Structure 1
Amino acid sequence: MTRFNLDPTNLPMLDSSQAARLDAMTDAELTAQAADDPDNPPLTDDELARIASARRVQAVRAQTGLSQQRFAETYRINLARLRDLEQGRSRADSALLAYLTVIEGEPEAVLRALG
């Protein structure tokens, strides 16, 4: 396996024959080839759930405009746990998802309740 750092200012490009080959493939053929690629296995249900959870946590925090540290302090969420959630290393449980829903809908009420 070869590792390299991708330079965002100099992205790799498809040559015309590669682009033509991809353009000629149907969605079903592209999906089948992607599924057969050993270097790019499909995401598991757990991985998809962790991604969805991460996006939810990030979206609620972004709505508040707070940094991770300030959000964690303000809403009394462990900072390491928040980072794990936002980076998809773990999933939010139903209680945390409910708490995020309340933060999203009634942030002032949460702040009053937390005193």
Structure 2
Amino acid sequence: MSENTTSGTVVNFDARPRLSKDERARLENMSDDEIRRAAQDDPDNRELTDAELAEFKPVADAKLIRQSMGLTQEDFARKFQIPIGTLRDWEQHRTEPDKAAQNFLKVVSVTPETVVQALSILHEPAE
């Protein structure tokens, strides 16, 4: 599990921080240059090295894959037999797909009809 996850829950770095009224007023009165300098001076906001950047591994983006197929969440979940709640959690970055699910999403993105065919064969009633 990465440093940004706890029990499979992904930290949302896009969420706006909660600021006090004084902090918000100070930020709103700063110029773009002052904001840039403050960010550069922040020891927790250092630039990553090439080696550190190389450690990041892309995660299959369920929402992007689904949207590229023109499917609703419900249709995508039904078609590829993914629980709708799980799909929503992935798309809203509440949880991250495990390695098997990431690989499944990659295969779905490349050959969706093959996956549908394979799933239908696997779930045919026994004779």
Tell me the TM-score normalised to structure 1 length.
0.59
Alignment of 1:1-115 (within 5 A): 18=29, 21-25=30-34, 27-32=36-41, 53=59, 56-115=61-120
Indicate the structure with greater helix content.
Answer: 1
What percent identity do the matched residue pairs reach? Answer: 29
Q: Within 2, Cα distance between the matches of 1:88 and 1:111?
A: 25
Aligned to 2:31, what secondary structure does the other structure show?
helix
The 2-side partners of 1:74 and 1:22 are apart by 50
Segments of 4+ moved more than 4 angstroms: none
- State the structure with bigger RCO (CA 8 A, min sep 6), 1 or 2: 2
Q: Quick one: structure 1 residues 89 and 24, their matched pair in 2 at CA, closer, same or farther if it must change by over 3 Å? A: closer
One-letter identity of the residue aligned with 1:25: E
Tell me by how many angstroms 1:26 deviates: 6.4
SS of residue matched to 1:77: coil
Shift of 1:72: 0.4
Unmatched segments (≥5 aa) in structure 1: 3-13, 36-48
User: 1:56 offset after TM fit, Å?
Assistant: 0.9
CA deviation vs aligned residue, 1:45-69 (integer Å, no higher than 9, x gap): xxxx9xx75x711111111111001
Change (3 A) 1:26 1:79: closer
Measure, in 2, the Cα distance between the counterparts of 1:24 and 1:77.
47
**Cα offset for 1:93?**
0.3
**Could you say what the CA RMSD is over the residues aligned between the two structures, in angstroms?**
3.1
What's 1:6 paired with? none
